[in-house]
Amino acid sequence: MPERSSPTSPPRLVDVAKAAGVSLATASRAMTGSTGVSAEVAAHVQAIASQVGYVPNSHARALAGGQASMVGLIVHDVGDPYFAEIARGVLRETESRGYLALISQTQRDPRAELARVRALRAHRVNSIVLAGSGYIEARTETALAAELRSFTAAGGRVAVIGRHHLPVDAVLPDNAAGGATLMRHLLDLGHRRLGVLGGPASLTTVEDRLAGLRTAFGAAGLDWGTVPVEHGDFTREGGAAATARLMGAHPGLTAVVALNDPMAVGALSWLLNHGRRVPEEISVAGFDDVPVARDVYPALTTIRLPMVGMGRQALELVLKPPAARPRRRRTRHELVVRASTAPPAP
C-alpha cells in the first residue's frame, strides 16, 4: 500500500501523482474528470488517492482558477414538493459527476436571492442553479441580473429554471401551454362555471399559467371576465384559505383550478371538510404533478411537468462552456387525468 509523504500532514496531489507513477498534470485531470486521460489511468489514480487518503481541495482549485466541484442550488422553498423534485434532479447529476451541491432557499424574497448569490460567490462556488419563478415587475430583478452579469464575466456559470428575463441559460417549464391543456380538459367535461386559485400575483409563473387558462377559455368563445381568481400562497394552507374565499363569493362553481398541486390539495381538504363531494359536486385540478398528487383522495388531475428532468437539464447547462447567447431549454407537459375531475352534475 502506498505511504504518505508525511505522518503529520494530509496527503497532497503531488503525493498521489508520485505514488501512481504519473505526472502532476495527469493526476489533476484524473481527479477532476477532465479530458486527456484514459479511463484506466483515471481509475488507477483515483484508487491510489483513496488508498493514501487524499481529499481534493475544491476551494483551493477555485482560487487557482479551476472549476470548483461544488454547485450552488438556490430554490424558493425547500419544503415545496416542486422544488424538492427539481433538487432531486440536480442532486442525481451532481452525485453522478462527483460534484457536491450546496442548497439554500429564499422564500420568494428577491433580496434573499441576491444575498444567496453573493454568499455563494464569497465561498468560491463557480456554478449556480437558480430555480423558481421570476417576477412580473422588471425592477425586482435588476440587482440580481447585474450580479449575475458580474459573476459570469468573472468566469462563473449560472442556469435558471422558470426565469424568462435573466441574462443566463434557462430551463423554461411549459406553463402557458399546460394551462391551456388543463382548461380544455375541464371545458371538454362540460364545465363553464370555474374558479381559479392563483399563487402570488407578482410571479411570472402565475401570469403564464393564467394566460394559458385564459387563452383556452377565450378560444371556446367564453368570457374570461366571468372567471373569478383568488390569489394566495403556493401552499396547502394558501390553497385552503383561497378556496374559502372563492366558494364564499361563488358557491355555484362546478370546478376549481389551482395553479400548483399543494394549493389543489388545500382546496380538496377544504371542500371535503365542508361537505362538498369531489368530483360529484365540484371538480378540482392542479398543476405540476408532485408525488402527493396521486396519493390524496380523490387522486388529483393535474398537469405533469418533468421536474426531475428540469433539474438535470439545468445542471447540464451550468456545467457546459458558455455560449455566445443565453441558451433556452423548453420542457413539455402532460395532462394526467385522475379521479378529482368529472363532468358537472346535471
Average pLDDT for residues 164-188, to the nearest whole number?
Answer: 97
- Determine the 3-state secondary structure of 166 from DSSP: coil
- In angstroms, the CA 81 to CA 263 distance is 12
pLDDT one-digit tens code per residue, 283-295: 999 999 999 999 9
The pLDDT confidence band at residue 35, using thresholds 50, 70 and 90, is low
**pLDDT at 307 exceeding the cut of 90:** yes
**Pairing relation of β-strands 127-131 and 157-161?**
parallel
Q: Which amino acid is at 335?
A: L
Q: Which amino acid is at 282?
A: I
Say what the pLDDT of residue 65 is.
45
Give Cα separations from 65 to 11, 68, 123, 169 (angstroms).
21, 9, 14, 22
Strand partners of residue 135: 203
Strand partners of residue 304: 288, 334
- In angstroms, the CA 183 to CA 132 distance is 23
**pLDDT at 4 exceeding the cut of 90:** no
The pLDDT confidence band at residue 128, using thresholds 50, 70 and 90, is very high
Least confident of 11-15, 84-88, 185-189, 252-256: 11-15
Stated pTM of the model: 0.80
Q: What is the DSSP string of 175-217?
A: HHHHHHHHHHHHHHHT--SEEEEE--TTBHHHHHHHHHHHHHH
- In angstroms, the CA 287 to CA 304 distance is 7
Strand order, beta sheet including 70-75: 100-105, 70-75, 127-131, 157-161, 169-172, 328-330
- In angstroms, the CA 82 to CA 109 distance is 17
Share of the chain above pLDDT 70, in %: 92
**pLDDT at 2 exceeding the cut of 50:** no
Tell me, what DSSP letter sits at residue 126?
A: -
The pLDDT confidence band at residue 63, using thresholds 50, 70 and 90, is very low
- All cell numbers assigned to 156: 462563473
Say what the pLDDT of residue 34 is.
63
For 240, list phi and psi in degrees, rounded to 5. Answer: -65, -45
3-state secondary structure 31-99: HHCCCCCCHHHHHHHHHHHHHHCCCCCHHHHHHCCCCCCEEEEEECCCCCHHHHHHHHHHHHHHHHHCC
Task: Write out the H or E segment, with its range, that includes residue 248.
Answer: helix 236-249
The pLDDT confidence band at residue 9, using thresholds 50, 70 and 90, is low
Of 215, 204, 196, nearest in space to 259 by CA: 196
Say what the pLDDT of residue 6 is.
42
The pLDDT confidence band at residue 3, using thresholds 50, 70 and 90, is very low
**pLDDT at 58 exceeding the cut of 80:** no
**pLDDT at 236 exceeding the cut of 70:** yes
Say what the pLDDT of residue 1 is.
45
